[in-house]
Amino acid sequence: MSAWQRTQTCGDLREANLGQTVTLNGWVLTTRNFGNQVFIDLRDRYGLTQVVFEADQADLFAAANKLGREYCVSITGLVRNRIAGKERADIATGQIELQAHSLTVLNDCPSMPFSVTEFIDEDLANEELRLQYRYLDLRRRSLQKVLVLRHRLCKVIRDFFDARSFLEVETPLLGLSTPEGARDYLVPSRIYHGEFFALPQSPQLYKQLLMVSGYDRYFQIARCLRDEDLRSDRQPEFTQLDVEMSFVEREDILELMETLAVEVFDKVLGLTIPTKFLRLGYAEAMLKYGSDKPDLRFRLEIVDVSDIAAESDFGVFKNAIAAGAVVRAINVKGVADRYSNTQLKPGGEIAKVAETFKAKGVASMKYEGDKFTGTIEKFFPDAVKAKLKERLGVESNDLLLFVADTEAIVCDALGAIRSHLGASLKLFRNWWDEKAEHDKAEATAAKKEKRAAKPFVLRADHFNFLWVLDFPMFAYDPTEKRHVAIHHPFTAPMDTDLDTLESEPGKARAKAYDLVLNGYEVGGGSIRIHRQDVQARVFKMLGMEADEAKARFGFLLDALASGAPPHGGIALGLDRWCMMLAGTTNIRDVIAFPKNKQARDLMTGAPAVVEARQLKDLGLKQ
């Protein structure tokens, strides 16, 4: 062991180490010169230790004065108590300091493009700049905590499945392009010019083939890639927990995932959550919440009032109903006095939300005192108002918002309005917002009272899990004039819907299920088709004739005819789980080296132009 190598980390030293000579390695976080002493805070990913250089060691003191932020150094010294009254209760090493005896600069550091100290009064640098220098950004304590959490999550997952006789099996990264859903990332073959591999959007087909092969309990923490438009919770390359089981039904998979979630929250966050999650049918979710991934931390519900609206004299409603549309409403309790006519009229705050989802507008009424008010109130006879009041549970100061249109547009528009109101009216609070307020207040109080800050305590009600079940099997695509799979083409239809699969495809339901957490879809799966004849029928419903199905999925059809067992599974978005556990809405915060919003790696410059000879090898032209 070389003399400069560490004997402890920067988070190890305590009063039990007093009098010991130790060596620390790390990065200089801050320096402070007090004339006859130089103090530095030395940091590594384990913690922070204060180091003191005394003026009576002239050469060492001079070297310490030259240290800059983020210098990488080795320091050997004696562990001693801090001066009375100078202890720090906010760090684990706050009772001691290291009196330096020797200093080795392992590497210096030029002026930083941004600070990584994350002091309370510092603003975070622009994200594009931080992504360009991601190797520096990753020194931030907050990001280190997130990556530690991610590691812990993956270990808990692996231990959980190993204890239940699952096998982790790796599946290929270079596979066949099956253009359904998102676009594939394609890899040209150097050997077979004009032919391409596709990078996996998921291990879907391989895990089904493993079931056919008899590996009845499979899991994989799998890397997946999709060439699709990005957003705050999406990346072109992502990680999912992939699970598949043979000889199971839906309930087996749901119970397994609930047990996994309980273990994850216990071992990663130290939090106990309910062992059974609420279950909601797709149709009910869309009717009540306008979304197949509703956030149920708040109970604002959508109510169908088509029958009552038909009895009114309001032409917009009557004409919509006559054309086969629906009228639905939200009663926003106790907020009528908080919304002005400007916010409610066309072009106002609420209308803009609805128009994003193709709704033609939003009608509104208020219940002020003991009567309805608003521009459409006059079109509702008293008897109709009474029915409306009863149906919606109307009380004084309630605000009623109506949308009339096709069912799909009404669901989308009112679902978006519901989410907007939940956030703007603070009907729920994200736990990380509560934590930020708590930590700020605690830091001030702890400093004043010279004590350790009290940690923020998570509660089970910060997290709302929900299963959404009984999805439709198909949706009709008017552009392509054919049915498309809601989930994927390998999802099994309900047994009771098999006989009418071709005659009433719009009514067919899938053995599919999604796991929702606080309004985010964090997992989705299904019982798969395990019979060749049923799979062929589903392919045909999707516009794929037998010859095309054989050409594209012949290997799967042959496998299903080779004693394939009943099987099903699920995939959990590991990145989104990390987001929810770490308390961020930005997926780039939970990935070590993410792409930016334009799918570029600003650090390496990828994607980039390649040399002409490389293209020639692949049979491609610039």
Q: Is residue 292 part of a domain?
A: no
Domain match, 251 and 161 both: yes
Domain match, 322 and 415 both: yes
d(CA 570, CA 589): 25
Q: Which residues pair with 476 in a beta bridge?
A: 483
Q: Is residue 453 part of a domain?
A: no
pLDDT value for 397:
97
CATH number at residue 206: 3.30.930.10
Q: Is residue 4 part of a domain?
A: no
pLDDT value for 440:
87
**pTM of the prediction?**
0.94
Note whether 182 and 237 are within 8 A (CB).
no
Burial (CB < 10 A; 0-12, 13-18, 19+), residue 515, is buried
- Cα 140 to chain center, whole Å? 21
Q: Is residue 544 part of a domain?
A: yes
Least confident of 176-185, 232-241, 328-337, 469-478: 176-185
Give tens-digit pLDDT for 441-455.
998 888 888 788 899
Q: Is residue 31 part of a domain?
A: yes
- Cα 153 to chain center, whole Å? 14
Q: Is residue 482 part of a domain?
A: yes
Domain match, 529 and 569 both: yes
d(CA 609, CA 182): 24
Distances, alpha carbon 422 to alpha carbons 300, 346, 519, in Å = 8, 21, 11
3-state secondary structure 59-83: HHHHHHHCCCCCCEEEEEEEEEECC
Mean pLDDT of 423-433: 94
| Packing angle, helices 532-541 and 546-560, rounded to 10 | 150
Domain that includes residue 348, residue range: 298-424
Domain match, 265 and 230 both: yes
Mean pLDDT of 503-516: 96
Mean pLDDT of 197-207: 95
Q: What is the DSSP secondary structure assignment for residue 254, as one 8-state letter?
A: H
Which pLDDT band holds residue 14 (cuts at 50, 70, 90)?
Answer: very high
Give tens-digit pLDDT for 87-117.
998 899 999 999 999 999 999 999 999 999 9
Strands of 435-566, DSSP E: 465-469, 474-477, 482-485, 512-517, 520-527
d(CA 236, CA 228): 7
Which residues, 6+ apart, have CB-to-CB distance to 595 below 8 Å? 230, 235, 236, 237, 588, 601
Note whether 511 and 499 are within 8 A (CB).
no
pLDDT value for 181:
66
Q: Is residue 3 part of a domain?
A: no
Domain match, 302 and 418 both: yes
**Count of Cβ atoms closer than 10 Å to residue 520 Cβ:** 17
Domain match, 271 and 310 both: no
Give tens-digit pLDDT for 41-86.
999 999 999 999 999 999 999 999 999 999 999 999 999 999 998 9
Residue with tokens 């190890």: 12
Work out the mean pLDDT of the chain and round it to a whole number: 95
Domain match, 167 and 275 both: yes
d(CA 584, CA 201): 24
Give tens-digit pLDDT for 224-254.
999 987 776 689 999 999 999 999 999 999 9
Which pLDDT band holds residue 353 (cuts at 50, 70, 90)?
Answer: very high
Domain match, 266 and 153 both: yes
Which residues, 6+ apart, have CB-to-CB distance to 509 below 8 Å? 470, 471, 472, 473, 493, 494, 497
Domain end residue (candidates: 374, 396, 424): 424
pLDDT value for 89:
85
Which pLDDT band holds residue 121 (cuts at 50, 70, 90)?
Answer: confident
Domain match, 233 and 267 both: yes
CATH number at residue 329: 3.30.1360.30
What does the CA dihedral 283, 289, 294, 299 come to, rounded to 10 degrees?
Answer: -130
Whether residue 1 is predicted with pLDDT greater than 90 in this model: the reply is no
SS3 content of the chain, % helix, strand, coil (to 5): 35, 25, 40
CATH number at residue 30: 2.40.50.140
Q: Is residue 604 part of a domain?
A: no
Which residues, 6+ apart, have CB-to-CB distance to 40 below 8 Å? 28, 29, 30, 31, 32, 50, 51, 53, 64, 67
At residue 537, what is the residue type? R
pLDDT value for 232:
63
Distances, alpha carbon 200 to alpha carbons 172, 204, 523, 606, in Å = 8, 9, 18, 20
Domain match, 178 and 102 both: no
Whether residue 9 is predicted with pLDDT greater than 80 in this model: the reply is yes
Whether residue 180 is predicted with pLDDT greater than 70 in this model: the reply is no
d(CA 116, CA 142): 10
Give tens-digit pLDDT for 563-594.
999 999 999 999 999 999 999 989 999 999 99
Q: What is the DSSP secondary structure assignment for residue 168, as one 8-state letter?
A: E
Q: Find the radius of gyration of the CA atoms of the chain.
A: 30
Whether residue 222 is predicted with pLDDT greater than 70 in this model: the reply is yes
Pairing label, strands 465-469, 278-281: parallel
At residue 176, what is the residue type? L
Mean pLDDT of 528-557: 94
At residue 387, what is the residue type? K
Distances, alpha carbon 148 to alpha carbons 26, 265, 581, in Å = 18, 15, 12
At residue 184, what is the residue type? D
Domain match, 50 and 94 both: yes
Domain match, 271 and 322 both: no
Domain count, the chain: 3
